[in-house]
Structure 1
Amino acid sequence: MADKTARKEGGIWETVKTIFWALLIAGIFRTLFFQPFWIPSGSMKDTLLIGDFLFVNKMAYGYSAVSCPFSACPISGRILGSDPERGDVVVFRHPSKDVDFIKRLIGLPGDRIQMKEGILWINGVEAPQQPAPQFVEKKEPQGPQGLVPTCSNDPVAPGGDCLVDRYTETLPNGRSHDVLNLTDGWIVDNTPEFTVPEGQYFFMGDNRDNSEDSRFSPATGGLGFVPAENLIGRADLIMFSAAGKSLLYFWTWRPDRFLKAVH
């Protein structure tokens, strides 16, 4: 009887040890290499939609989080990888708020960035936009916060088609992505020229009229420039996507976005 009890206790202990090591390895993997990220808002539409779930590649820029046990901590200790490139979709820590943001990298250190009549200019050169088919989604609550999209064709009845003008923008390095334009003459459709300081970056949302980004000064609660040490990693792949308040609402899943590359 004693041998049977000892074997049972030994089996339980082995199970506990297995779970412990599995969680430890998963934690290390998450801290060093990848960080899960849910898209909470529509600032990156239509590249990223509310409810998209992705893993952030924390090694993309050759940094290691070894010195910090928490995924939200700044990156330190450069090892392998490449420099951030204009056009990357990046997750970073907000310089003054305790929250992670995801935006597109527009300005590198030393770049001059300006918006003129809703068009992006980099170092005095226009980033051309070509008309693309309108972005269409349903006028209904999205995600856990139940956010309702803003439409160019408002007022739109609940459940109706919400339309937004879409353009394909090409950056000076040849990389292209879609941007949305809700309205002309928005408050940062025309800006002064920003010069990106050394060691910092300039970010913008693809949903240009619905994004808190580097066009807004930190003095007024905006983002401003983002220091290099605040970069967490690059978004490369959407793993899963659901438009509803819960993952259990399978009827809101978006199978066409499963395993979709982020451009």
Structure 2
Amino acid sequence: MADSADPAAPSASAKPAKPHSEARDTAWFVVKLVLIVFIIRSFIISPFVIPSGSMLPRLLIGDYIFITKWNYGYSKYSLPFSMPLIPGRILPGTPKRGDVVVFKAPPANKEDWIKRVIGLPGDTVQVRNGQVILNGKPIPKVRIADFTLPVTPNFSCEPVFQRIENGKTICHYPQYRETLPSGYSYKVLDLGNQPIADDTQVYTVPAGHVFLMGDNRDNSEDSRFPQVEGEGIGFVPIKNLEGKAVVNFWSTDGTASWVLPWTWFSATRWNRIGEGF
């Protein structure tokens, strides 16, 4: 009688185990990491760095902020490089007047810009003598103390606004507080009469769009100007909104040098970290 098979012996059909591969493990880790970052940046929260002074006094060049991505719904502009993976807009939401939003700037819809929501669909907006008229009623605008900021590599101003204080050049800009009908208020800069920006026609915001303005009213290309790439943006489709600004998480005045680590700390504007909207 033939001997029975040894149960401990390997089956002839069993496949040999794959050898351990550090390269494969590393590649799989990188794939998972990229996927997690993609999901977080696209649907939850994303960083944004302030490149210009159009939102002074609230935002300075060199500020780093977080924006939340769920507030206004999702479109392809929510995704990195505007990947066309989302048809139209899902989970839509309408911003509130006063929200500070990051969006893809029309007409090219390629660059990320940041402005404040002033008009919603159906609103009328006009600027007369530098004062915003919303739905036929002037938004209260009250003069407050000058906005002041030292001249640094990240910030300069025209000589007419400069003063020397304790050996440093300080910019002094005329500052005002505007208050929306909801009671929400914020600060704006108004540097003087600008014929085109300070006196406009009456704009009626179409459905599915918003009217956006920079807080630095005389240095902001925004919805007051027709859509021209790199200049005016006209009415901005709500689907272009990528998220709502919520908090500063870093700020630098531009004096740091990568090869001088101690300057990373001296250049940091510590008082701006954690400042919310």
TMscore range, shorter length: 0.7 to 0.9
**Aligned with residue 211 of structure 1, among 208, 217, 220:** 220
TM-score (norm 1): 0.85
- The equivalences for 1:81-230 within 5 A come to 82-97=93-108, 98-142=110-154, 148-150=156-158, 153-154=161-162, 159-218=168-227, 221-230=231-240
RMSD between aligned alpha carbons?
A: 2.8
Q: CA deviation at 1:44?
A: 0.2
Q: CA deviation at 1:133?
A: 1.4
Is 1:32–1:64's contact at 8 Å kept on the other side of the alignment?
no
Give the whole-Å Cα distance in 2 for the aligned partners of 1:107 and 1:213.
Answer: 12
Residues 1:238 and 2:253 are matched in the alignment: no
Structure 2 residue matching 1:168: 3-state secondary structure: strand
Residue 65 of structure 2: aligned partner: 54
Cα separation, partners in 2 of 1:161 and 1:215, compared to 1, 3 Å = same
Output the amino acid matched with 1:48.
L
Give the whole-Å Cα distance in 2 for the aligned partners of 1:170 and 1:151.
Answer: 30
Residue 4 of structure 2: aligned partner: none
Give the whole-Å Cα distance in 1 for the aligned partners of 2:188 and 2:23.
Answer: 55
Give the whole-Å Cα distance in 1 for the aligned partners of 2:208 and 2:160.
Answer: 37
Q: CA deviation at 1:162?
A: 0.7
Give the whole-Å Cα distance in 1 for the aligned partners of 2:161 and 2:64.
Answer: 28
Deviations 1:183-217 (A, max 9, x none): 23453111111111111110000001110001111
Output the amino acid matched with 2:177.
T
- The equivalences for 1:69-88 within 5 A come to 69-70=79-80, 72=82, 76-79=88-91, 82-88=93-99
Is 2:65–2:249's contact at 8 Å kept on the other side of the alignment?
yes
Output the amino acid matched with 1:257.
R
Structure 1 residue matching 2:116: 3-state secondary structure: strand
Q: Which runs of no fewer than 5 residues in structure 2 stay unpaired? A: 1-16
Is 2:210–2:235's contact at 8 Å kept on the other side of the alignment?
yes
Give the whole-Å Cα distance in 1 for the aligned partners of 2:238 and 2:39.
Answer: 23
Cα separation, partners in 2 of 1:247 and 1:215, compared to 1, 3 Å = farther
Residue 271 of structure 2: aligned partner: 256
Output the amino acid matched with 2:244.
R
Output the amino acid matched with 2:276.
A
Give the whole-Å Cα distance in 1 for the aligned partners of 2:157 and 2:41.
Answer: 32
Is 2:152–2:253's contact at 8 Å kept on the other side of the alignment?
no
Deviations 1:49-86 (A, max 9, x none): 10111122110123365x97525458743227x42100
Cα separation, partners in 2 of 1:156 and 1:198, compared to 1, 3 Å = farther
Residue 3 of structure 1: aligned partner: none
Structure 1 residue matching 2:89: 3-state secondary structure: strand
Q: Which runs of no fewer than 5 residues in structure 1 stay unpaired? A: 1-5
When structure 1 is superposed on structure 2, of 178-187 and 251-260 the one drifting more is: 178-187
